[in-house]
Structure 1
Amino acid sequence: MNNVFFRPWVGNRYGKVDSVFSKKILILGDSHYTDESEVTELLANKQQSSDFTTGVMNDYLSEDVKGNWKSTFTKFMNSFVQGTSHEEFSREELWGSVAFYNYLQIPAGTKPRLTQHYDYTKETDRKAFLEVIGELEPDVIISWGNKAWDAMPEDFGFGNYVANKKFSDFYHTYPFKENRLKVLGINHPSSAYKSSYWSGVFTETQINA
């Protein structure tokens, strides 16, 4: 993956027989943000930054690491499995069954709101995203927030997407290799996210099967 700066987290159950989910699911986040000193270090050391996403997910799954930022991941997964048999599984089993990747391939400052100043139309970010889905071959992509969703290409190289009749604004199906790739754009779980609404959408579309 030549254009990928932050390599994706790939759960140890992703795409395997012991996965919680019947589909290979890629969660597409927005961007990484961190302390200013770390931003400089990350930009200077690509080898270190390449595992940054995995480090974030390991921190999320660790009981020893605290932080309000963790609620974003918890809120999403709780709504994703609400009302399904998957509710009985642990956080480690659920997140171990998916992959997670952030769209922006540069650290976007020190606070989430700073991402509004970044350009999501750069070719390097688009190429990196296509490289990730080419390698992981997901069945489903769930995109967090408008920025990444608006940057989504109309074609992944196998033909233009088709919009879902009922949820045409945020649910598209793409031809992809020998498969059909379903892409769902949702509100970012860190902001105006209505868990009850999105859990209903997930269940109706059977994205969370």
Structure 2
Amino acid sequence: MSNVFFRPWIGEHFNNENSLFDNKILVLGDSHYCEDGDLEQGTKSSSDLTTEVMTVYLDQNQTASWKGTYSKFMNSFIANSQLTNQSRSNLWNSVAFYNYLQVSAGTGARQTHHYSYAESKHQSALLEIINELQPDVIISWGNKVWDAIPDDFGYGRYSDNPIFDNCCCVYPFKNKEIKLIGITHPSTSYDSSYWSNVFNELGVNT
């Protein structure tokens, strides 16, 4: 994966019999917020920062305000399903998580407008991840990432979902299809009950 700098978190139960989900789910975040110097970009070919972030998130002894974003998303994703009472560790260990931007977006979300999400290196990196993980479902956080996702994953252009055509489309991919769902970023004015209904209607959280 030559274009990928921030390698994905891959839960230990992703795509195996211990996963809580029937689908292989890739959660597609926006970006990492940190100082470029913290990453020493240019001195190494890739970073495990995404896995480090998820490890901190799952450590109940460490507190941070940003953790609410991840909890809010997963709580709504499994609300009203048979997985409601599962621990956040089991849930996040059943999915993969990857941030779209392959450069540090500074120290806060308000700085992301300085970056071109349509830049080929970010799109190429995403396609490498998709080909590596071959997910059944991709859940994209926020409009910037949604708008930058390619129309074609290499096997033909997507088609809109007939029920949720404003937030869900289906891509042909090898011998199957990938369902892409674009949601409001969970760090903003995220309507948990609305998205919970969407996830349940689409049957992606079983």
- Structure 2 length-normalised TM: 0.97
Residue 102 of structure 1, CA deviation: 0.3
Q: Which runs of no fewer than 5 residues in structure 2 stay unpaired?
A: none
| Residue 81 of structure 2 corresponds to residue 103 of structure 1 | no
* 1:10-29 map, 5 Å: 10-29=10-29
- 1:46-95: CA deviation from partner (whole Å, max 9, x where unpaired): 35x51110000000000122110000000000000000111121111000
Residue aligned with 1:180, SS: strand
Q: Deviations over 1:15-67 (max 9, x none)?
A: 11110000000000000002x3xx223124435x5111000000000012211
Q: Secondary structure at the match of 1:87?
A: coil
* Distance in 1, Cα, partners of 2:189 & 2:44: 33
Question: 2-side partners of 1:8 and 1:85: how far apart?
Answer: 27
Which blocks of at least 5 consecutive residues in structure 1 are unaligned?
none
- The amino acid that maps onto 2:110 is R
Residues 49-198 of structure 1 aligned to structure 2 (within 5 Å): 50-198=47-195
**Cα distance in 2 for residues equivalent to 1:124 and 1:94:** 30
Offset at residue 118 of structure 1 (A): 1.0
Partner of 2:30: 30
Q: How many residues align?
A: 205
Q: Letter of the 2:80 partner, please give it.
A: G
Report the alpha carbon displacement of residue 131 of structure 1 after superposing the two structures with TM.
0.2
Counterpart position of 1:2 = 2
Q: What secondary structure, in the 3-state scheme, does the structure 1 residue paired with 2:97 have?
A: strand
- The CA deviation string for residues 181-202 of structure 1, in whole angstroms up to 9 with x for no partner, is 0000000000021001000000
Q: Which residue of 2 aligns with 1:46?
A: 44
Q: 3-state SS of the aligned residue for 1:141?
A: strand
Equivalent-residue separation in structure 2 for 1:131 and 1:96 (angstroms): 21
Distance 1:65 1:119 in 2: 33
Higher normalized helix content (fraction of residues):
1
Aligned partners of 1:176 and 1:97: how far apart in 2?
Answer: 22
* Residue identity opposite 1:28 in structure 2: L
The SS at the match of 2:155 is: coil
With over 3 angstroms needed to count, the CA separation of the structure-2 counterparts of 1:45 and 1:60, relative to structure 1, is farther
Once residues 111 and 60 of structure 1 are traced to their aligned partners in structure 2, the CA distance between those partners, rounded to angstroms, is 18
